[in-house]
Amino acid sequence: MNFYLGISLVLAICFICVLLFIIIRRNASNAQSDSMTELKGQLSLMVESSNQQQQNFTAQMSEQSARMEQTLSALRQQLGQSLQQQTQSTHDNLTKLSERLAVIDRANSQISELTGQVTQLQNILANKTERGAFGEVQLENLVKTVLPPSSYAFQVTLPNQKRADCVLKLPNPPGDIVIDSKFPLEAWHELQNAETKEQQMAARKQLANSVRGHVKDIQNKYIIAGSTAESACLFLPSEAVYAELHANLPDVINASYKARVWIVSPTTMMATLNTVRAVLRDARMREQTAIIQSEMLKLIEDVSRLDTRVENLNRHFQQAQKDISEIQTSSSRIAKRSHRITELEVYEDENISDSNDKLQPSSLLSEELNK
């Protein structure tokens, strides 16, 4: 009995266990099914989110690609413009460079030509005769530029048989002024080539002696009493030599003043010639003063004669105006008398004689005319 009871108890326990197992398994299956459903929902949400993100990513990539395309297009355009500008700038620079090279070539040719001219000038100045001709040509050009042709002459033989380079024809006083061209080139070259102080002093002394000699020659040859002015001019065709004399050799300048020989350079010569032109103008005005005075007197006589004739003509006009006024008065009175005659009445025959005696128009008309 107990055995069967035990077996029944065991079987009951096993049945309960199996029942519990089934219940637990069913609950587990339901829980697993709910979990799968929830998982499927989450997976669906994740898929939708992934699709949305993919769409957003695709849109962003498209927009980014469009921006990149625009940027690249702008960059290509700027690069093309920059290359075009750089090409144009390079072309312009090459053109300017070619023009400058052409200018440099012309300058080189001019420098070569100038070098040849300087060499030729040095050859000319090396010869004393040609050097004197150089100074004379420069003096001649200055004089012809400033003065009228009638006021100067070149290579004039003076009464002492000395030939002057130029003579300025001025009225007395001061008279004709002689200008002689001198160029102490050797002494000037020695002064320029001197390296030591002693050599400079010696060269400067030689230059002073040379200029003093020229001043003395001009004083003795070209200042002639009664024929030329009391002074003359020494023309130095070099501003550098003239500046050296005034800067470092004032004794030579003072000696030229005492000898009444004025040392002039091309610049000061131009000022001197302008002064001479003013003197000539004043002299011509003085020469014309007598003619002007004579013409003014004649003009005054003509004006006086014209005034007299105008007065006579005015008097004739006044007389004619008076006669015309009297004629107008007479004609007015005649018109009035005629009007009165036309208004008279015609009387009978026996009274005509009386009326005629009373009217006497002829006598009345003559009286009016006499008035």
| 107-141 per-position pLDDT tens digit | 777 776 766 554 444 544 445 555 556 677 888 88
pLDDT tens digits, 15-34: 777 777 777 776 666 666 66
Paired tokens of 23? 């219940």
- Counted domains in the chain: 2
Q: Are residues 213 and 264 in the same domain?
A: yes
Q: Which residues, in sequence order, are CB contacts of 175 under 8 Å at separation 6+?
A: 227, 228, 229, 230
243 plus 301 within the same structural domain: no
Burial class (CB within 10 angstroms; exposed 0-12, middle 13-18, buried 19+) of 365:
middle
Q: ω into residue 173 within 30 of 0, thus cis?
A: yes
- Please identify, among 250, 272, 287, the residue that sits at the C-terminal boundary of a domain: 287
25 found inside a domain: no
Do 169 and 256 fall within a single domain?
A: yes
135 shares a domain with 262: yes
Relative orientation angle of helices 250-258 and 197-222, to the nearest 10 degrees? 10
pLDDT average, residue stretch 72-81 = 81
Q: What integer is the mean pLDDT of 264-277?
A: 86
**Whether this model's pTM surpasses 0.85:** no
Looking at residue 91, its amino acid is H
Residues 239 and 163 in one domain: yes
- Please indicate whether residue 185 or residue 245 has the higher confidence score (pLDDT): 245
| Residue 282 falls inside a structural domain | yes
Where are the alpha helices (H) located in 223-265, listed in sequence order? 239-248, 250-258
Task: Say what the pLDDT of residue 63 is.
Answer: 83
List of residues 6+ apart from 194 with CB closer than 8 A: 200, 202, 203
Q: Are residues 200 and 149 both part of a single domain?
A: yes
Give me the domain span that covers residue 130. 115-287
